[in-house]
Amino acid sequence: MDHRFSVKDYYLYLVLIALLAVALFIFNPVLGTLGVIAWVISASYAYRTAKKFNETLSEQFQSLHKDFEKVTERAIFSMPFPMVVTDKSGVIIWHNSHFATLLDGDNLRGNVLQKEIPDLGKNAEKEEDGVRTVENGETVLIKDVPFATYRNIVDYQRSGNADILCLYYFVDRSALYDLERLYDDVSSVVMVVEVDNFDEVVDAAPTSKKPLLIAEIDHRINEYFRSQNALVRKFQEDMYLIVMRKMDMEPMVNEKFAILDLIREIDAGTTVNITLSAGVSRPGLTFMEAYKEADTCLDVALGRGGDQVVVRTEDTYAYFGGKSKAVEKRNKVKARVLGIALRQLIEKSPKVFAMGHTNPDMDAIGAAVGVMRAAKNQGKEGYIILKESNPSIDLLLKVMEKEEPELYKHIIPGERAEELLRQDDLLILVDNHKPSFTEHPPMLERTSNVVVVDHHRRGSEFVNDPVLNYVEPYASSTCELITEMLTYMYDDMDLTEFEANALMSGIVVDTKNFTFKAGVRTFEAASALKRAGADMSKVRYFFEDDYDTIISRAEVVHNARIIFDNIAISKLEGDSPNSVLVSAQAADELLGIHGIKASFVLNKKKDTVHISGRSFGEISVQLILESMGGGGHLNMAGAQVKNDDIDVVEAQLIQAIKDYLEKGEKEE
């Protein structure tokens, strides 16, 4: 809008005078002439008045502009927060005293701002006008103090050329961050605690000690958590609900949850130690959300064998403890309930699909064969998903093709299974619970009716919301679990000799001929299979090796070296079809060397390095290989690392072992 004055502002008056002069000319020329003279005088006056007014107004505006510039300049110089002006290359041209004080300097002109504040714009992905992008409000740490950064770019003329200046100012956010930290510290977390083997220990304890034992467990749990300002409520005889602030939980995290040791030290008067597991939620959730998350974490802890605490972090899980062997639970109620539930699920499903892990072994295939028997007993169509055979299962599949041709025809690749799968069909995962490690991961996206049966310690990756979940790390093998479930599903399992042999082979391979992790229920399952017709001489045939395999295994053992005094490590050179099998067998043999507590064998297959780890239990190969993306059991685990350089992976493995041993020394 134009606020200046001109002759146009007097236009109406001048028109009226002109009309009057014309009228006078008509009636009296003399008066008309006087009217014209009056109009000229009026127009001249209007022009001079408008010009003078505009000049006065302009002078006032200029004076006001100068005053405003002085006010602005004075305001900038007296701003209570650090300010700095740079050119487009980031060189400091001017700064106020607050900025100099902040960086402990008197005159910082000529310095590069980026060098003075390295964090400034560190997340910038692009530049604007040659200047690194800085998001307004972006937080930077200066002398460990958080500041919100704001920037303005100003165009100006310099020596006749266009240029830009950048004005930065920094607002102290310490108070806000302190408030956020306080809010985070006082946020509530929920913990669900369970005494793993409460029933077994109490049942085995002398009658006179049972009340004292229960009281001692209760006392130690209450005393430990209440000493950290936590609210403790017992809602079952072996389960507790804990609510506490995050800041009160941090000392527990720092001491690796000493409650695990306090419970383990209780003298139960039996040969079995009492152990405890717990799941902890993230802070900042509603109490219902926090309880569900803590309960899920507890399931993870129990699925990993118990005697540990699992804490949910923002994007993963943190594990504490888990260095004890999973103790066999003699309570068979769970197996019976889940066996009946699985039978009912099969009854409602038109088709049943069994799928193991990539590069399946005897345990995966044997368990899948057991699932096919369950489907057949219900009159359902069943399929085993298998892309291709491998040396560890070649002989079993050859015998299947000869003795069970109908079953062999129902082995199909994942792509064919996808074509056959319908939404109401049942998918049963055996010997694996990681979606990314399954034989054909897309199958999990096609149906929500998924059952998981596995004996590996549960990791952070797990099938989303399975309809039935049977992960028991105490079991020797998945074949043991499937056999036990079959005995509860049917009065007569109706196994053929081959099916019994296949299930037995899975138990044999994972127990190393019943010498490793074979519990009472393992032998009960083996007895059931023997009664069903299992022939150990035929089972032994499945494990016969050819000459090249034996030579390769001997070379791996021969080339092994000892690290950290009692750990054997070796590599299998070359990419052969049975390299993974040879590595696993060699790792077993290395444990036979006197004084060796753990062994690791690496082999490269295409662009992936496979690692087989074994131990007697004193060293947790599971925790070591979990740090490299693998998993398994305390004394038997594996990992697959995407890397085509086996030496690089070997160095990573040695570092992981070193970190594990150093961590163990600190805890002691």
Which residues participate in the annotated binding site for Mn(2+)? 357, 361, 363, 431, 455, 510
Residue 424, token pair as written in the block: 């109401």
Q: Which amino acid is at 382?
A: G
Q: How far apart are CA 525 and CA 536, in angstroms?
A: 14
Q: Of 660, 622, 627, 649, whose CA–CA distance to 638 is shortest?
A: 622
Tokens of 654: 């040695």
Provide the greatest CA pair distance for the chain: 146
Q: What is the CA radius of gyration of the chain?
A: 40
- CA pair distance 278, 320, nearest whole angstrom: 10
Residue type at position 544: E
Q: Annotated binding residues, as ranges?
A: 357, 361, 363, 431, 455, 510
Three-class DSSP category at 490: coil
**How many residues are present in the chain?**
668
Between the CA of residue 559 and those of 549, 552, 572, what are the distances in Å? Answer: 16, 11, 9
179 residue type, one letter: L
Q: Is the Cα torsion angle 401, 342, 299, 519 positive or negative in sign?
A: negative
Query: For residues 609, 615, 618 and 619, what is the CA-based torsion angle, rounded to 10 degrees?
Result: -10
Contacts of 221 (CB under 8 A, 6+ apart): 193, 232, 240, 259, 263, 276
Round to whole Å and give the CA distance between 480 and 375.
18
Task: Tell me how far apart the alpha carbons of residues 239 and 217 are, in angstroms, rounded to a whole number.
Answer: 11
Cα 272 to Cα 202, 283, 309, 330, distances in angstroms:
10, 35, 20, 12
